[in-house]
Amino acid sequence: MGTVVVGFRLGWDTKGRQATVVLTRAGVLHHSMGLLGLAARPARPHAPHGRDPHPVPRQAATLRRLYADLLHQGYTRRLIAPACVRLTTEEHPLHARPWGEHAPRAHPELIADFTGAAPSGPRSLEDALSEFYAAIGLTDRRKPAGPPVPRRPVPPQAVPLPPPPRGARWPPVPDAPPAGPSRARAYGCAWGSPARTSPRARSPNCRPP
């Protein structure tokens, strides 16, 4: 029946070394390091913590960290670009308490099957992980489930008025009408006019200032 894995192989030309890391659908990380062009002996796999409800996403985060660390150390040559591969090799059953004497054993056949079946061509680790999640029936939490919801437009904020000058009255009061005869003329009163002596010219509503 086989299994589905995701992994990569990086090389360090200056040191003449290579590193291979493979993550299985059970959440087990297999890795091996050795000389370029030679079959390396796999190290002890890293099993997920016991009773972990999400072993694959947590181990995928470890896979990303290992990939970044190896590139930083000098393993910059991508001998096998990150890829999701369906293998014919059966994965060893994982114990309910995978530590101590029940820790998973090294699986050189699985790494050899991956290196022989991995496709060629440049790929990114994130694309390989997305394909791996889809192959094992997991949802990639790093990607949105649907189209983004449009945001409601934000109404423009009112521009605050500048503070009034010191000593000024606020709010401002309109100027009062002038006092004296000019006040009467301004309001249309005929008291200050030359015709004020005429009884007919005087308005009954007009009063002397």
Structural domain boundaries in the chain: 3-136, 178-209
How many Å apart are CA 160 and CA 69, to the nearest integer? 53
Per-residue tokens: 79: 């001998």
Q: Looking at residues 14-24, what average pLDDT do you find?
A: 94
Band of pLDDT at residue 5, cut at 50, 70 and 90: very high
The per-residue pLDDT for 128 is: 95
* Statement: residue 137 has pLDDT above 70: yes
Q: Looking at residues 51-63, what average pLDDT do you find?
A: 84
The per-residue pLDDT for 20 is: 94
* Statement: residue 154 has pLDDT above 80: no
The per-residue pLDDT for 53 is: 72
The pLDDT mean for the chain works out to: 78
How many Å apart are CA 20 and CA 33, to the nearest integer? 6
Band of pLDDT at residue 43, cut at 50, 70 and 90: confident
Q: Looking at residues 38-62, what average pLDDT do you find?
A: 81
**How many whole angstroms from its chain centre is CA 201?**
86
Q: Pick the more confident residue, 39 or 120.
A: 120
* Statement: residue 46 has pLDDT above 80: yes
Q: What angle do CA 188, 189, 193 make, to 5 degrees?
A: 105
What's at 96, amino acid-wise?
A
* Statement: residue 34 has pLDDT above 60: yes
The per-residue pLDDT for 22 is: 95
Predicted confidence (pLDDT) per residue in 157-193, tens digit: 777 777 767 766 655 555 555 555 555 454 454 444 4
- Beta-strand pair 77-87/3-12: antiparallel
